[in-house]
A and B are shown apart, each in its own frame.
Chain A
Amino acid sequence: MAQQSTAYVPSGRMTGARKRAIREAMTGYLFISPATILLTVFGLFPLFYAFYISLHRWRIKKGPFLGIKNYTKALGDPIDIFWFLVGVALLFLAWFIWRNMVKEHRAWAMALKFLAVIILIVGGWAAIAGFGRMVDSGDRQMFESFVITVFYAVGVVPLQLAGALLLAVMLYQNIKGKDWYRMIYFMPYVTITVASAGVFRAIFSRRPESIANQIFGLLGVPPQKWLQEPHGIWDLIFGHFGVNLKQVLLGWGLDPFLVFILLGPSLALISIMMYNLWVFIGYDAVIFLAGLGSIPSDLYEAAEIDGANRWQIFRHVTLPLLSPTIYFLTVITVMGVFKAINHVLVMREPAARGTVDTASLYIFDQFYLSTRFGYASAIAMVLFVVILLLTFVQNRIAQRRVFYG
């Protein structure tokens, strides 16, 4: 640090201004030093430390160096991982060729497009086959925890954002008692997670008189086991009509892991997703409301003069100008799903047989209950890479779609 500040000072006499600049810089470093030290120790260094831990056998105490063994235990044989990665790379290559050739109409372009399709098929096959073998030779439960996380994200993100946007647009109208509504919608977010999740445990209990069973009973749904129901949602729906979907799919010779995906999220997970919606829709709505408030009203007036109807105004004025907020909330929500742990910890029942264990919770279990520090760190690193890739993809999409006014 000191070296950097002297870089400002060439050799020779120090003028008053230089002295002052150095003093200023030293004050700056002094001011940020507590935060820098704390962040380095507890925020940045642990990332590298986690990688170091993941390369060892580490059960409470450090054991021998294992290299990538923890990773192959989780992800499967290196050769399978290799084929999976080759497949993914080919898919990207096919997409790249196709994108560049799509506007060309000459013969060689057609040939390249044909090539892209072949690469797509080969790549897709390699990726799927490689992944299937990874699941077989790796930690099936870990893969399931990632599938559960994806279920969670796919179920929650669109519903949460759409619901919040709807609420915000309704609240943005000229209505009485706006502050009251806003205050009430925001209450779930403020509540202590353990407490509200505990209450939801009672609401989604398997008793026939539980609140969930009474409300869904009004809609004609027979009493369910909710948080204690490990069966997938499609399995339950087909089962209601007397079809054992799981047996049918297994009878077709499908891989059990594929069947697990096809049967959908368990009702227990769906209960937790409903809790998640309850907590965050109001929070997202308050942020959307602020976003709506920042859209200048003359844009609406201009659109009105141009004869746009309400839907057109919403579609072509409100939505584009709201896109930074939508992007921000999407990122926050996806990150939130990957971090989801506290409420799942409270709401999971042994009877749900691990169908609600998100990736974060699986890591926590490996670490806290099984004391496999090395292995848990390896999965955590995998999760980190997945989150980085996801953020990268979201960024790419945002660059094209988000409009910063």
Chain B
Amino acid sequence: MASSTSTIQSKTGAQMAEKQPVSFWHRYKVGRILLYLALTFGAIVAVTPFVYMILGSLLTRGEMMLRKLWPRDPIAGLQNYVQAWNEANFNEYFVNSVLITTITIVGMLVVCVLAAYAFARIKFPGRDVIFGVFLATMMIPETILLIPNFLIVNRLDKLMRPIGLPWLNNWPSLTIPFMASVFAIFLLRQFFTTIPDELWDAARIDGAGHVRFMVQVVLPLSKAVLFTVIIFQFIGSWNALVWPLVVTSKPDWRPIAVGLYSFISEAGPELQLMLAGAVITTAPVLILYFFTQKQFTEGIATTGLKG
């Protein structure tokens, strides 16, 4: 679907180029057409796996056996989704992922906004050194932290089980370690420092402290950057595979990525069911992306600039 729109786009683009005066870079229409061809080729490469995923997920079992590419009866193919949903136990995994993502994002916002605000707008001894240490921890790859963190979470599990808060196979191990995101703190701090001091002076004259200034002035101004941070965390939580695999041994709290992974690797499903499962897991993120893609890409683009 998306690929056909892009071809239409490129065609109209080429026609426009014939009418309009050409830009500095492309004096010749040939160059312009080649440009659109190359861009469209790239778009087709990017989109083909999605098309294959959707078409394949709608094939009936017989069609898959006959190596068909186009489903003859897509409505009947929807049966695959029901079957994959039930066989892979997506009901439970889906709820888990929503819960895990929500808890992580809320916690991350509280922890990171506070820290970023302090690093940006409060003066205290050792501030820059501590911030430097924060940034340095970003250089430590997760692979190295995996084993010690697993043991730490085990220890916390034993400690907290008596007070009714086990960590293993439960939400704390899946959410709390991710609440202090240095990346989020860095982005937020970067933005908070650009808020003019006059606003703070005015707020102080009105008798506001840091908390009120932060909640009533800084946060409403920071919607765009907060959104970027939330999106990143959303993708990260929805995507996590290795850590949830390690700290959960039962499906109770397993997120959807792990659900799909075990569906693929353990159940060895028929191809059309696996593709239906892939569509189910990806759909929420892609839908979110389509609705917010402008802020989305721009948010990510700016992170690259500052880095």
Contacts and interface: CB of A to CB of B under 8 A. Distances in A.
Contacts of B261: 194, 345-346
Interface string B123-165: 1111100100110010111111111111110000000000000
Given A192-B238, A193-B257, A199 B49 contact: yes
A183 B304 contact: no
Contacts of A383: 141, 143-144
Interface string B178-190: 0110100100000
A108 interface: no
B176 A287 contact: no
Contact of A42 (B67, B180, B285, B301): B180
Interface string A357-380: 001100110011000010011001
Interface stretch (A22-30, A79-87, A112-120, A241-249): A22-30
Contacts of A7: 125
A202 B147 CA distance: 32
A163 to B, nearest CB: 9
B76 interface: no
Given A345-B241, A391-B139, A287 B12 contact: no
A187 B35 contact: no
Interface in A116-137: none
B219 to A, nearest CB: 14
Interface of A: 4-5, 7-8, 21, 24-29, 31-32, 34-36, 38-39, 41-47, 49-50, 53, 167, 170-171, 173-177, 179-188, 190-196, 198-203, 207, 209, 211, 278, 282-283, 286-287, 289-291, 294, 304, 310, 325, 328-329, 332, 335, 338-339, 341-342, 345-346, 359-360, 363-364, 367-368, 373, 376-377, 380-381, 383-384, 387-388, 391
Interface of B: 2, 5-6, 9-10, 12-13, 16, 23-26, 35-36, 38-39, 42-43, 45-50, 52-53, 56, 67, 110-112, 114-115, 117-119, 122-127, 130, 133-134, 137, 139-152, 176-177, 179-180, 182, 185, 210, 235, 238-239, 241-242, 245-246, 256-257, 260-261, 264-265, 271, 274-275, 277-279, 281-282, 285-286, 289-290, 293-294, 296-298, 300-305, 307
List 8 tightest A-B contacts by C-beta distance, closest first.
A287-B304, A28-B124, A290-B301, A31-B118, A38-B180, A46-B148, A177-B9, A35-B115
Given A47-B145, A192-B281, A367-B146, 19 more contacts: A27-B124, A28-B123, A35-B112, A35-B180, A38-B111, A39-B182, A42-B145, A174-B25, A175-B36, A177-B10, A183-B297, A187-B2, A187-B47, A187-B50, A198-B264, A283-B300, A286-B301, A341-B242, A377-B148
